[in-house]
Amino acid sequence: MELEEENKDITIRGEKVSPGEDKLLHINIDRLPTGTLIDIPVHVFNAKKPGPTLLIQAGLHGDEINGIEIVRRMLQEKRFKVKKGAVIVVPLLNVFGFIHFSRDVPDGKDVNRSFPGTRTGSMASRMAYHYTSEILPQIDLGIDLHTGSAQRHNFPQARYTGEDIKSKELAEIFNAPFSFSSKLIKGSFRNAAYKMGKPTIVYEAGESMRFDDYALKEGMQGILNILEHFKMIATTNTNNYAEQTRTIHLNDRRWLRAPTAGMFIPKITNGSSVDKGQILGLITDTSAKRNKTIKAPYNGHIFCINHQAVVNQGDALFHMGK
């Protein structure tokens, strides 16, 4: 009788997760000034049957909490109990930023600009180093969960690497309402993964320090789509999180900026389809003497709105694509 092939072991910080095992592991990073040890929690779900190893991570920026809640809900609902392959789940990468309500670590550095990092560098660099050496070599593909920053609200969108056809395919499978190619940023997680041949996408939805139920459901549905596509879980038409329509690919993206300083009042909802010349919002002064309108330069879609009420000339207000 021919023996069935088993899945591979997953090993993190010297602790092995064998096929058929689920474990919660920890990557020790640093201590708070009080002496309290801070580590990165890593959930590993390793099926007996071979298949791809998928990384799902959130909280790379500590104030971007929608991704953290997406992972928490799916952990609670036991959605990562796979029958093939493995899922490595990191619900909160930047613990320091999370407890300080901050995008960055306490020294002001951005972990997502510190990859691949160094073993003896800054806090952000060391976090990136341990992650790059412990996690990235073991995965086949990844999903990095983010939100908009600085009061910018991102309508659910998947960003992929234009030079990597596999990451584009991954974005199509994820099937967020919008998807588009995005340039690689030096020092980013996605750039480090690309250099190691690991296709990844970034899911951007909502804004920092606020939960957005629609963004949460679209993110959970996208993860479910990928797990089902690679047959890591049984395909089901029930217990889905969001209604699915085909993702809209955006090109010719541009920011529409404030023509003057004042109070910014949007006149459309995020995710809207708009026509050329349509009024998207206005900027007014406190005396109601001057109004400046912002109009759509072409037919397209709005996929990010700045929720900052008081703006300066040149501030980014709407992100638009077609």
- The tens digit of pLDDT for each residue in 257-295 reads 999 999 999 999 999 999 999 999 999 998 888 899 999
User: Which pTM does this prediction carry?
Assistant: 0.95
Residue 129: name the closest of 109, 149, 100 by CA: 109
Q: Is the pLDDT of residue 304 over 70?
A: yes
Distance of CA 271 to the CA centre of its chain: 18
Q: Is the pLDDT of residue 243 over 70?
A: yes
**Worst-scoring range by mean pLDDT, 67-81, 102-116, 224-238, 294-308?**
224-238
Report phi then psi at 199, rounded to 5.
-65, 130
When pLDDT is cut at 50, 70 and 90, the band that residue 239 belongs to is low
What pLDDT is attached to residue 36? 81
- Residue 107 CB partners (closer than 8 Å, separation 6+): 122, 123, 124
Residue 222: name the closest of 143, 116, 303, 124 by CA: 143
Q: Is the pLDDT of residue 148 over 90?
A: yes
When pLDDT is cut at 50, 70 and 90, the band that residue 238 belongs to is low
Q: How large is the average pLDDT for residues 15-44? A: 90
Mean pLDDT of the chain: 94
What pLDDT is attached to residue 2? 43
Q: Is the pLDDT of residue 309 over 50?
A: yes
Task: Give CA–CA dist 45/131, Å, rounded.
Answer: 18
CB 119 within 8 A of CB 181: no
Scored b (16 or more CB within 10 A) or e, 225-254 reads bbbebbebbeeeeeeebbeeeebbebeebe
**What percent of the chain lies above the pLDDT cut of 90?**
84
Task: Give CA–CA dist 171/243, Å, rounded.
Answer: 17
Q: How large is the average pLDDT for residues 11-38? A: 90
CB 70 within 8 A of CB 219: yes
C-beta atoms surrounding 127 within 10 Å: 27
Task: Give CA–CA dist 86/142, Å, rounded.
Answer: 12
